[in-house]
Chain A
Amino acid sequence: MNAPSPTLSARLAELVRKPFFWGIVAILLLLVVNLLKDPTYLAIRVNPSNGNLAGNVLDILRASAPILMVATGMSLVIATAGIDLSVGSVMAVAGAVSMEYLQNAGAPSSLGAALVAIAMSIGLGALLGTFSGLLVAKVGLQPFITTLVMMLAGRGLAKVITSGQNTTATNEQFRWMANGYVLGFPVVFLLAVAIVLVVILVVRRSALGMMIVSIGINPRASRMAGIKPAGLLVTVYALSGALAAIAGMFAVSSVMTVDVSQTGYQLEMDAILAVVVGGGTLAGGRLSMGGAAVGALLIATLDKTVVFLGVPSSATPAFKATVILILFLLQADNVRNLLRSRRPRPASLTETVETKASVAA
């Protein structure tokens, strides 16, 4: 598997075996479909006055930022064999708290006020996550039920914070997060990529990743080996909450308005789908944050494609569901075995071994 210098075809073969390979294929196919409708779909324009890039692809990247955030947190939670249904509501809470603060702050348009709003949002998101984590790890409630309750409670909390209003605020620094550009790219996308990279680095460079996966695969063996699952679980849920809060700020900063019933609505579903597209399994024990990122990009592409193709809004969910269902079918071992057995192939020994390996993977 780790031969000294893998040939190009061997590398390709390994890429095909990665679960998120089909996610990449799906993104490309969607782009091709869009190209068929409009040959200039992929065109990227440069705004002559400020050098900023613009075009459909940039829109997709911008839209993917919040999904990237929640999918990253979700991939960690799912790796522990848990689930976090509260991320969409936490997004609304973070949006509500930042908008409400900026509306009422002493110097609402200062950089300081923006930073305080950001800190408050992330802090509150992490706090809500910690609470879920404690209920799961210490009280022993099921993650699904715990975060389902937090999903309802979070939406309610957001409404309490804004007294049920869709609060609006003005603060150019805060807004820059969504609408600014650096090096021609939207800030929001660069921030999202940077945060994902930092999380990947921390998780992979520390022993956090190994321990999370270990708990997800075999919690009893992990406990016997001296791992304290409680602390890890709380950390993971807190991180998921904090990342959801960042996603919430991304979502509200472009319009500087929090819509307490729509901000982050059903984003937990997008995040779960992104993780599973990227190779995660709800049984836990698999962690692929890169895969989750591919999944997030796919969801964003899909959302934009639905709009671009003019799919009637009533049919949108069905369309989205169909695409994802096809993708899951392609990933399913049973279906792949079925397709493989239909395809005549030379029965050389190495290929049989490879087949087995890919089934096991």
Chain B
Amino acid sequence: MLRIAVCDDDATQLKKTKELLEEYFRCCSVTESQIETFRSGCELLAQTEVCSGFDLYILDILMPEVSGIETGRRLRALGGGGEIIYLTVSNDFAADSYDVRAFFYLLKPVEREKLFQVLDGAIEKLKRRRNSAVVVNTAEGPRRILLEQIRYVERSGRCMRYYCTNGTVDSQTIRSPFREMASPLLADRRFCLCGASFVLNFQHVTGVNGRDALLDNGQTVTLPRTAAADFKMAWGNYWLEESEQL
């Protein structure tokens, strides 16, 4: 089930956008959807805080009080992910939209085909990120962990410890080298092997200062001295490639 939020201060535009979305999900997509509409950025933000966010946000930019760009910034600050598509009459804010890592930026009046194409891309990206997972053999049995929830993995004694956004998961004793056990993670470009017993998720690294990698939960991970500079470069490269999505 895909949860979508549409936000526009203009009731006519809001209705039109909702209709286009309903048409899209009726005929072009197999995914089920739930579309909610909001007349202001404040309303949307309030609801996001309550329901822990939406999968897709379609925002107008020029709105009174809180603009679409500012709404996007505050949504990012709340966390929870989700793709943002901007619809607007004015391209004066082209420079600003990149700040919030929006998926796309469409000028009104929106062409149906163009919107549907962008929706295809956004949903594909969401599915890829949300469904990518790894199965870990734990003492309680196999457990499926979404890749986007893993902050980092390290070798802990003879098992692998997965530090996730919702807790820590320890695997059973591993019989192969750490790098081999981590290969399903390393196949995803978000993950990077650092030294011999650390794998970090670039998406959860907010900064690298010398040998310390700062994570989005405030935790610091000390990197091996010889690998720190290369890790920082790889982290930067990842985010530079992510910006290709725009």
A and B are interacting partners: no
- B-to-A contact residues, CB < 8 Å: none
Q: List residues of chain A with CB under 8 Å of any chain B CB.
A: none
